[in-house]
Structure 1
């Protein structure tokens, strides 16, 4: 494992910890998209099926189990906790799953490395992760209800993707067999979705103001 991937993993883990801290400490999920969190849970389920038949390392297995457990914990809080679910912006979080899931599944059936069940599901998870943040970004733009923890959560997710791109570049330069174009293209698309957010995030951070996105 190289430093870029380790940093990416740590930013990813930290983003989830920040989100769980917001929910547990404030007993509120206001400003958080349940749609995005459920999409991430679906991403992890499809991607980490190899937990049942393949072992790479203790670190690898620990991270996979952690991401699965935290993803479903967040969804459980937002759906079933009596206090937390009352703060959910249900009327604003209306992005339809089908517009993300259906195209990604169709693309995974057509463009994949091998046409097997596990490979198609893994590829589907790569495509879906690239766009899973969209409901969250749309919700933030609609409500303008962006507290510091929510903004930091999204910023950390963006940093995670940025370091993973550096990881892919490093592996391309050092591992000549590393040619995962599906991962590269999806990662670049996902990172590009954060560009507008990071622009306004940087401006507000510099001015020490609360984040606001243009309507």
Structure 2
């Protein structure tokens, strides 16, 4: 494992820690999209089916279990915790995320890595992760004023994907020497969705201002 992959994994993990910290300490999920969290839970459930069929390393297994467990826990908090669920911005989080699921199922069946059950589910998870952030970004645009923990969570999610792109470039020249079209194109699309948010996040940080997104 190279430094860029490790940085991506740790940044991803940190984003989840920040989100759980926000929910646990403030007893609030205001500004957080349940639709996005449900999509991420589906991503990890379908991606990590190989937990039951293969073993790569202790690190790999632990990270998969952590992402699975935390994604399910976040959805549970937002849906069923008697205090947290009352702070959910249901009226603003209206993106019809099931259309994304259906589209990604279709793409995974038409353009899978391989025509096996595990690989079709893996490909579906890659496609779905690329667009899972959309409900969250739209919710932030509607709410305009964004608290620090929510802004940091989204920024760290985008940074995780950026580190992974650097990791892919590094591995292309040092290890695999071939293009992996499905994860690479999906990853670039996913990172592109964050571009506008990154601009306003960095601008607010430099100017020491409250983070606001244009309507």
* TM band (smaller chain): over 0.9
| Structure 1 segments (4+ residues) deviating >2 Å | 176-179
Alpha-carbon spacing, 1:155–1:92, altered in 2? closer, same or farther (3 Å): same
Instruction: Give the match for residue 155 of structure 1.
Output: 155
Spell out, residue by residue over 1:77-98, the C-alpha distance to the aligned partner (whole angstroms, 9 max, x if none).
0000000000000011010022
Tell me the TM-score normalised to structure 2 length: 0.98
Structure 1: unaligned runs, 5 residues or longer? none
Q: Tell me the equivalent position of 1:54.
A: 54
Per the TM alignment, residue 116 of structure 1 is displaced from its structure 2 partner at its CA by: 1.1
Which position in structure 2 is the counterpart of 1:194? 194
> CA–CA distance in 1 between the matches of 2:62 and 2:180?
24
Q: What's 2:66 paired with?
A: 66
Deviations 1:128-173 (A, max 9, x none): 0000000000000001141000000000001000000000001111
- Unaligned 5+ segments in structure 2 are none
Match of 2:214, SS state, is coil
Alignment RMSD: 0.8
d(CA) in 1 for partners of 2:178 and 2:60?
Answer: 19
Partner SS for 2:50: helix
Task: Provide the secondary structure at the position in 1 that maps to 2:56.
Answer: coil
Q: How does 1:168-183 map to 2 (within 5 A)?
A: 168-176=168-176, 178-183=178-183
The residue aligned with 2:212 is 212
| 8 Å CA contact retained: 2:31, 2:146 | yes
Output the CA distance in 1 between the equivalents of 2:64 and 2:171.
21
Asked if the contact 1:107–1:124 (Cα under 8 Å) also holds between the matched residues in 2, the reply is yes
Q: Measure, in 2, the Cα distance between the counterparts of 1:73 and 1:209.
A: 32
Normalized against structure 1, the TM-score is what? Answer: 0.98
- 8 Å contact 2:171–2:177 — kept in the other structure? no
1:17 aligned partner? 17
In the alignment, is the contact (CA less than 8 A) between 2:48 and 2:64 conserved in 1?
A: yes
8 Å Cα contact 1:171/1:178 also seen in 2:
no
Cα distance in 1 for partners of 2:94, 2:49 equals 29
SS in 1 for 2:146: coil
What does residue 4 of structure 2 align with?
4
3-state SS of 2:31 partner: coil
1:130 aligns with 130
Matches of 2:176 and 2:63, distance apart in 1? 26
1: CA distance, partners of 2:113 / 2:203: 41
